[in-house]
Amino acid sequence: MDIQLLDKELGILNRTGFFQKLKQQYLIDLTQDRQSLFIAMEYECISQLRGVLSAENITWLLIKVVDIYTSCLPSHAIVGRSLKEIDAYIVNFDEAQLPNLIENLTLKFNTPILLPTGQAVEIKPRFISAMTPGVLLHTESPDKVISQMAMYLGYCDQSENKKQHCHLDQVTSQLLNRRVEIDSQILTALGNNEMFLAYQPKVDLTSQKIIGCEALARWQHPSLGFVSPDEFIERAEFCGVIQALTLWVLKQSIETLAKCRVLNPDFTMAINLSATCIETPDFFDEIKFFIKHSDIPPQLFVFEVTESIAIENYELAVEFLQKLRELGCKVSLDDFGTGYSSLSVLSKLPLDSLKVDRSFIKNMLNSDADIEIVRTINRLGHACGLKVIAEGIETKQDMQIIADSIGCDYGQGYYFAKPMNDYKLLKHLAENLKMNSPEKANDLFISRFLSKYLKPASII
């Protein structure tokens, strides 16, 4: 065995060696149409022990762990340090044998390991496994298999419920395969005109007048179909495309805002900001550039940032939001009530409004507790000098409780309007103007306006 491919400490393959062997083996497996098992083992105790045990004892312990691990595997298993602490690739593995293998491994590691110093160390391993080619993307490229495995390991790490053994099932595999597709397509989606904006009106609950809207990104992909923002925004962040996407949203919404202002000069446009935008140095300057060159007063732009983003990136968020406000823009705290922010944090964030998360509004009719939560958030917002917006108002009863009993300032939700394209938004705005200020809304003006600015669009 090439010495360069071995981990000197443990005598098993190092990362390069493991991948080299795995790639060779995977290609053979493909031609012979047989199934193999990839199994990764991780344990968190070693990093803690490094501060307590001597380097010799740590090495002794790791060698022991490798011995126990390999004693449970067939002798032909390829074992190495690669994606996790110790990984193995077992060629020609029958999936039905997996529960036995895991049981055996768990049993062996249940007994504490006795160090030469007499100390007993308990290793609590976690196993993550997948059959290949099996549920992993059927691919000719072993590199792709490795990157899919890495993605699956990351997926298992993120899941809140860290199980002792995670095995890649069909459902998770489809989800990951879709993710791979999304990641590879998202960069080109903007250039290919696959993305568009939907606008959802915000309504003044006292006058029922539309005061502005929120721009929501949409993606209609030729083969993936409709990809929801809950799915692609996270991937855009992961792939580093979110900044470009946010600037595209800003640019598109500036065009729509200019048209809306013909009907209502005070109309506001809300744009969502993700954590990665806030963390990017110079991103504020890009926003500033677009706004400065838009001929639209900065106070008509509202930037929404979720409560959890603001809390997790507190220092950066304060700095970024402060700069937006100095520019003259408004700042709103989105999905409030889900991010566990303390009251002192709330009072220190530079804000103009907060949006009560729709999960509270959704349950109000069945839960007095949720009504009281919304009432408390509303009082809290007002006490901090903020406007309060209730999101997710779906029924007339929701609206009545929010407007009459609780007294929020603004509302947003399907009861008023679902997100819609710019053509429908302008028509909707014109109708709302006619209803609320008939003296200002001249039929001829509105129909001239609509025919001048708009061609009916087919989507949404």
Tokens representing 375?
């009432």
In eight-state DSSP terms, residue 115 is: P
Closest-by-Cβ residue to ligand C2E is: 413
**First CA to last CA across the chain, in angstroms?**
62
Binding partner at 256 among ligand C2E, Mg ion, none, C-beta below 5 to 8 Å by kind:
none
Nearer to ligand C2E, 6 or 239 (CB): 239
Please say whether the beta carbons of 342 and 306 come within 8 A: no
Q: Is 304 in the site for Mg ion (CB under 5 A)?
A: yes
Question: x-or-dash pattern for ligand C2E, window 333-372, by CB under 6 A?
Answer: -xx----------------------x--------------
Please select the residue that binds ligand C2E; options are 268, 274, 353, 421, rule is CB under 6 A: 274
Q: Is 394 in the site for ligand C2E (CB under 6 A)?
A: yes
Q: Smallest distance, Å, CB 126 to ligand C2E? A: 32
Q: Of residues 340-399, which lie at the interface with Mg ion (CB under 5 A)?
A: 391
- Report residue 452 CA to chain centroid gap: 39
Binding partner at 228 among ligand C2E, Mg ion, none, C-beta below 5 to 8 Å by kind:
ligand C2E
Please say whether the beta carbons of 332 and 302 come within 8 A: yes
Please say whether the beta carbons of 65 and 43 come within 8 A: yes
d(CA 277, CA 291): 16
Tell me the CA distances in angstroms from 283 to 215, 279, 320, one per residue in order.
Answer: 19, 8, 9
Please select the residue that binds ligand C2E; options are 62, 267, 419, 429, rule is CB under 6 A: 419
Beta strands in 237-378 (DSSP E): 268-273, 301-306, 330-336, 353-356
Q: Is 392 in the site for ligand C2E (CB under 6 A)?
A: yes
Please say whether the beta carbons of 49 and 58 come within 8 A: yes
d(CA 122, CA 407): 57
Q: Up-side HSE of residue 61: CA atoms within 13 Å toward CB?
A: 25
Q: Of residues 191-250, which lie at the interface with ligand C2E (CB under 6 A)?
A: 200, 216-217, 228-230, 233, 246, 249
Q: Is 82 in the site for ligand C2E (CB under 6 A)?
A: no
Size of site (CB under 5 A) for Mg ion: 5
Q: Smallest distance, Å, CB 215 to ligand C2E? A: 6
By CB under 6 A, name the binding residues for ligand C2E: 200, 216-217, 228-230, 233, 246, 249, 272-274, 304, 334-335, 358, 391-394, 412-414, 419
By CB under 5 A, name the binding residues for Mg ion: 272, 304, 334-335, 391
